[in-house]
Structure 1
Amino acid sequence: MSQNQKKLTLFALTWPIFIEVLLHMLMGNADTLMLSQYSDDSVAAVGVANQILSLVIVMFGFIATGTAILIAQNIGANRLQTAGEISVVSLAVNLVFGILLSILLFFTGKPLLLLMDLPSELLDEAYIYLVIVGGFSFVQAVIMTIGATVRSYGFTRDIMYITIGMNILNVAGNYLFIFGPFGFPVLGVEGVAISTAVSRFIGLIVSIMVLVKRTNGELPFRKLFQLPKEHIRNLLKIGIPSAGEQLSYNASQMVITIFIAALGTEALTARVYTQNIMMFIFLFSVAISQGTQILIGHMIGAGKFEEAYKRCMQSLRLAIAISLGTAILFSIFSENLLGIFTSNPEIIETGAFLILLTIILEPGRSFNLVVINSLRAAGDVKFPVYIGILSMWGVSVSLSYLLGIHFGLGLTGIWIAFIADEWLRGILMLFRWRSGVWRSKGFVTAKQGA
C-alpha cells in the first residue's frame, strides 16, 4: 500500500474523481432528461424530493468526511493498521445511522413535502419518489463510506468504475419504466425511483468486493467491538463540523426552494433545469478539491506543511481558471442546452440569464470548494462551519427573500444572493488558509506525533 501512496499526484487522483462526479451528475440529469419527455411536473416533483434527499446524504457525510480525513492523515503518517481500524468503525456507524434515517424518511415523507409548501399537483409523485429512494438511502450511506475509504488509499479509479456501472443500470432502468419497451409497465416517477434504488444496491455489492480487495482483506471486521472508541470520537469531531457546513447549505437551499415554490411550478422547473446544467460547470472544481483533500491529508500526516500550503494555492488557481472558462462556454450555448430539457420559451429565457450570472458565481464557488476541503484535510473543520452558517443564512437566504420575493426579482434576485454568499465565504476561507492556523490542527500530527 505504501508504494501506491508515493506515486500519488493531483492529476492521477483527480481525473477518476472528475469522471465519477460527472457520472453522479449524469445520473441525476438522466432522471431529469428522461422524465422531461414524460412530464415537466414530474421533473419539478423529483427536484423537490431530491432537496430532502440531498439533506439526508449530507447527514451520511458526518462519518464519510471524517473517514476520508483520518485515513488520509494516518496513511501519510504510515499508520496503516490504524487506518484499517477507522475504516471498519466508520462503516459500522454509518450503516446503523443510514438504517435509522431510512426508516425516518419512510414514515415522514409526506409531512416533509407538505412542510416545503409543494404545489398539490406535485405531491403524489414527489412522495412516491421520496419513499422509495429515501427508504433505501442506507445503501447510499455505506457506498459513501466505502468510497471515502478507497479514495483515501489512493484507488480513485475503482470508485469511478463502480459509478460507471451504476449509471448504466440506472439509465437502462429509466428507459424501461418511462418508455415501456418489451411490454414493461410505464411507471414514470415510480419507475425512476425503483431504477435508482436497484442500481445503488448492485453498486453496494461491488463496492464491498472492491474494499476487501484493495485492503488485502486485512480490515479487522472480527474485532469491531474491540476497536478503540477513540476512533468514533475522532470521526465525530471531524465529521460533524465538516458535514455541518454542507448541512447548513442544504437546509438553506430547502428554505430557498420554498421561496421559489411560491413563484410557481414554472419557476421550480426552471431552477431544476438550470442547476442541472450548472453542475457540469463546477464539477471541475469539485474533482480538484477532492483530489487536493486526499493529497493534503497525506501531507499533514507526514508533517509536510509547506507542501500542503502550496498544493492548496495551486489547486485553487487551477479550479478558478477552469470554472470561469467553462461558465463562459456554457453561457454562449445556454439556450441550446436548456432546449435539451424543455421547449418552454419562458423557462429557456430565464435559465439562459441565470447561466450568464453563473460566470460571476462559479469562481467564488471554487474558493469554497478547494479551500474548505483543504482546511478539513488539515483538521481545521470548525471555522468553515461558523462562517458558512453566518453567510448562508445571513446573506443567501435573507437576500433571496429580499431580492427575489420582496422586490419581485424572482429567480434573478435569488441568483444574485447566491453570488454574494459564495464570494463572501470564499474570500474569508482564503484569508484563513493564508493565516496558517490550520498547521496546528492535524489529528495525527497534533495528537499522536508525526
Structure 2
Amino acid sequence: MPLDEDGAIKEQTKWGKISIILTLAIPAMLENILQTIVGFVDTLFVAKIGLEEVTAVGVANTVIAVYIAVFMAVGVGASSLIARSIGAGDIEQAKSIAKQSTLLTSLIGLFFGVVSIFLAEPFLLIMGADEKVLVDGLLYFRIVAVPSIFISLMFIFGSILRASGDTKTPLKVSWWINIIHLGLDYVLIFGVGDWEGLGVAGAAWATVLVRIMGSWMLYHYIKKSIVSFSLRKGTLNMIKSVMLSVIKLSIPAAIERLIMRIGQVLYFGLIVHIGTETFAAHTIAGNIETFSYMPGYGLAIAATTLVGQSIGAGKLKDAYQYGILTTVIGIFFMSMIGVILFVFSPYFATWFTSDKNAIDMVVTALRIDAFAQPALAVGLILAGALQGVGDTKSPMYSTAFGMWVIRVLGVYLFGIVLGYGIAGIWISIALDLLIRAIYLYVRWITYFKISTDKHYTKIRDNYFQN
C-alpha cells in the first residue's frame, strides 16, 4: 500500500484502491493456478487409464490434503513472524524464525511420513475405498505420502520467500516444476517406446520428484535472500522457541483447515458409498472447479493485507471499502467463471473421460456449481477480510457448520436418501457456499455498523491480539 512522506498510508480514490487490490491479487492468483496444475495433470492423465484409478488417486489425495492443511497453517504463522521481524529491521530474528519454521515443518513432515507407512490402509478404508480402489489407492498414497517432508518443505520455503518480500521466485519455481511435472507424468504413467510405464505409480513418482526438485530450488533461492540460513547448524536448541512462537500463530489457521479437510473426508466417504463412478465424476468435476477458486484466493490475500493495514492505521472507512471493493471484484470475476463452467462443461469433461454417463454427471455437477460462484467469491474474500480485522473465529465457525452440517447431511439426504446422486452432492455444496456467504457478510457489516472510537478500539485490539 503506498505511503506518504511521513510513512502514513496515502488516501486513495475508489479506482486507486481497485488498482492496489489487483496489483496484490494477480500474482497470488497466478501462483495458485500453477500449484493447482500439479494435481490437475495427475487426474487428467490417470483418467486415461480408467475411472477406478481416478477414484484411487482422488481418495489418496483427500487424505494427503489433511497433511497439507497443517503445513499451510505453519506457513501462515511463519509468514506473520518473519514479515514482522523484517518490518522491525531485525533480519537476524527473521532468519532464526525461518530456520525454526523449517525445522518444525520438517519434523511434522517426517511424522506424517511414518504415520503413512503404518496407517495407509485404515485411512483409505475410512474414506470408503472398496477392494478395487484400495489396491491402486494404497500404491499411490504410500509413494506420495511417505516422503511428506518434501510437501512440507515446498510450503514453508514458499512462505518464507513471500514473507521476505520475494513473490516472484515462488511463482517462477511453480512454473518450472509444472513444466517438468507434465513431461514426467506422461512418461512415467504411459511409458515411452517399448516401456509401458508405471500407471498410477508413475503419477505418484512424478509428483514426488517435482516436489523434491521444487524444495531444492526454493531453498537455493532462500540461500541468496535476506533471510538466508543454514539447515546444518544449531537446530536442536530451537525446538522450544518454535513451539512458543510459530505454533501459537499457526493454531487458528490449522483448526479451520483441519475442520475443512476432515469434513471433506466424511462427505467424500459418503460419495464413495454412492458409487465408484459417481466419486470419479465428482473428482473430475472438483479438479475442473478448483481453477474457479484461484481469483477468490488471490483476492482474499489482498483483502487480508489491505484491510489489516487500514485497521492498523486507524482508517476504518478504507478498511470497509477495501473489503467491499475486493468482494465486488471477486463476484465479477467468478461470475464470469460460472458462465464458462456452464457453457463449456461438456467440453471440459471430455478431457478426462469418454464414458458418456460419467460426462453427463460431470456436466450436471459443474452447471450446478456455476450458479454458486458468486457465493463462493463472497465467502472466500470476506473470510480473508475478517481475518484482516482480527476476527479469525467467524471463518472457522462458518467452515465447521458448512462442512460438517450442510455438506455431510446434505450429501446423505440428497445424494443417498433421495437418490439424486451427483446432483444432490453439488446442490449440498452450493447450499453450503450460499449460507457461508450470507453469514460472513453479516459478520462483516456488523464490524462496521457503528463507526465510533470505541468500536474502532475494539477492532484494533482484536487485530493486534491476533
TM-score (norm 1): 0.90
Tell me which amino acid in the other structure corresponds to 2:398.
I
Match of 1:198 in 2: 209
Match of 2:129 in 1: 118
**Which whole-Å deviations, capped at 9, do the CAs of 1:420-439 have from their partners, x for residues lacking one?**
21222222222323333643
The structural deviation recorded for 1:268 is: 1.0
Match of 1:346 in 2: 357
Match of 1:323 in 2: 334
Structure 2 residue 224 is matched with structure 1 residue 213: yes
**Which whole-Å deviations, capped at 9, do the CAs of 1:146-191 have from their partners, x for residues lacking one?**
2122223332221011111111121111111122114545100101
**Which whole-Å deviations, capped at 9, do the CAs of 1:123-159 have from their partners, x for residues lacking one?**
1111011001001111111211121222233322210
Q: Matches of 1:105 and 1:413 in 2, distance apart?
A: 32
Match of 1:23 in 2: 34
The structural deviation recorded for 1:109 is: 0.7
Q: SS at the partner of 1:286?
A: helix
The structural deviation recorded for 1:212 is: 2.5
Q: Matches of 1:220 and 1:167 in 2, distance apart?
A: 26
Q: Matches of 2:227 and 2:36 in 1, distance apart?
A: 31
Contact 1:133 1:196 in 2 (8 A): yes
Contact 1:76 1:297 in 2 (8 A): no
Tell me which amino acid in the other structure corresponds to 1:174.
D
Match of 1:160 in 2: 171
Q: SS at the partner of 2:221?
A: helix
Structure 2 residue 180 is matched with structure 1 residue 169: yes
Contact 1:75 1:298 in 2 (8 A): no
The structural deviation recorded for 1:105 is: 1.1
Change (3 A) 1:140 1:9: farther
**Which whole-Å deviations, capped at 9, do the CAs of 1:85-144 have from their partners, x for residues lacking one?**
432322221111111111111221112112222121111111011001001111111211
The structural deviation recorded for 1:217 is: 3.0
Q: Percent identity?
A: 27
Match of 1:39 in 2: 50
Structure 2 residue 61 is matched with structure 1 residue 50: yes
Say which is worse superposed, 245-254 or 121-130, in terms of deviation: 245-254
Q: Matches of 1:128 and 1:91 in 2, distance apart?
A: 28
Match of 2:463 in 1: 442
Q: SS at the partner of 2:371?
A: helix
Match of 2:252 in 1: 241
Structure 2 residue runs of 5 or longer lacking an equivalent are 11-18, 448-457
Q: Matches of 1:399 and 1:410 in 2, distance apart?
A: 11
Q: Matches of 1:72 and 1:367 in 2, distance apart?
A: 27
Match of 2:286 in 1: 275
**Which whole-Å deviations, capped at 9, do the CAs of 1:281-309 have from their partners, x for residues lacking one?**
22111122224334445556666655444
Contact 1:74 1:298 in 2 (8 A): no
Structure 1 residue runs of 5 or longer lacking an equivalent are none
Contact 1:266 1:347 in 2 (8 A): yes
**Which whole-Å deviations, capped at 9, do the CAs of 1:245-287 have from their partners, x for residues lacking one?**
1211111111111111112111011101111111122211112
Tell me which amino acid in the other structure corresponds to 1:285.
G
Q: SS at the partner of 2:223?
A: helix
**Which whole-Å deviations, capped at 9, do the CAs of 1:24-79 have from their partners, x for residues lacking one?**
22211111111122222211110111111111111222311222334445555666
Change (3 A) 1:305 1:77: farther
Say which is worse superposed, 237-246 or 286-295, in terms of deviation: 286-295
Q: Matches of 2:197 and 2:429 in 1, distance apart?
A: 38
TM-score (norm 2): 0.87
Tell me which amino acid in the other structure corresponds to 2:291.
F
Structure 2 residue 304 is matched with structure 1 residue 293: yes
The structural deviation recorded for 1:226 is: 6.6
Change (3 A) 1:218 1:321: same
Q: Please, which of 367, 373, 386 is the counterpart of residue 384 of structure 2?
A: 373
Say which is worse superposed, 127-136 or 386-395, in terms of deviation: 386-395
Structure 2 residue 369 is matched with structure 1 residue 358: yes
Q: Matches of 1:212 and 1:434 in 2, distance apart?
A: 44
Q: Matches of 1:181 and 1:101 in 2, distance apart?
A: 34
Structure 2 residue 109 is matched with structure 1 residue 98: yes
- Structure with a larger share of its residues in helix: 1
Tell me which amino acid in the other structure corresponds to 1:387.
S
Match of 2:406 in 1: 395
RMSD, aligned CA: 2.9
Tell me which amino acid in the other structure corresponds to 2:187.
L
